[in-house]
Structure 1
Amino acid sequence: MREVVVSTDSIRLGQFLKLADVIDVGSDARSLLENDQVRVNGEAENRRGRQLVRGDIVAVGDTELRVG
């Protein structure tokens, strides 16, 4: 599991995916979310604007990322 450090108390899922280099541009998040490829804390997520806080776990395929 890789920790991705954020500079704020919370971050939107789409922004987090860009910060973690999972996607190149924000619009790429839409296809991942529409195809149920993203899970937050073990639950499927389809909202690009979902607010994440430190400690949340985001899984994209086999890649697990922790908001730090």
Structure 2
Amino acid sequence: MTEVEIHTEYIQLDQFLKLAGTVPSGGIVKEMIAAGAILRNGEIETARRRKLVHGDVITIDGSECYRVVRT
């Protein structure tokens, strides 16, 4: 699992995925959400602007895992 540091209270899902380097644009995030390819804490995510906070775990396509870490 890869930890991705944020310096604010929360970060939106689309911004987080760009920060983590997994997607080049928010449009791709929208497509991935529509396909059910993104999980937040084990649940299918339906909102690309969902606020993520320290400790949230994002799973992409069942294989890539990222944890939000606030510094």
**Structure 2 length as normaliser, TM-score?**
0.93
Instruction: Please name the residue that 2:53 is paired with.
Output: 53
Kindly provide the amino acid, as one letter, of the partner of residue 52 in structure 1.
Answer: L
Instruction: Please name the residue that 2:37 is paired with.
Output: 37
Instruction: Please name the residue that 1:63 is paired with.
Output: 64
Alpha-carbon shift at residue 46 of structure 1 (Å): 1.5
**Structure 1 length as normaliser, TM-score?**
0.97
When the two chains are superposed, the root-mean-square deviation of aligned CA atoms in Å is 0.6
**CA–CA distance in structure 2, aligned partners of residues 27 and 6 of structure 1:** 22
Unpaired stretches in structure 1, ≥5 consecutive residues: none
Give the number of the structure whose residues are more often strand, by fraction. Answer: 2
Alpha-carbon shift at residue 26 of structure 1 (Å): 1.2
Instruction: Please name the residue that 2:9 is paired with.
Output: 9
Moved over 3 A (4+): none
Cα deviation code 1:21-44 (max 9, x no counterpart): 110011110110000000000000
Kindly provide the amino acid, as one letter, of the partner of residue 44 in structure 1.
Answer: I
- Identical positions, percent: 37
> How many pairs are equivalent?
68
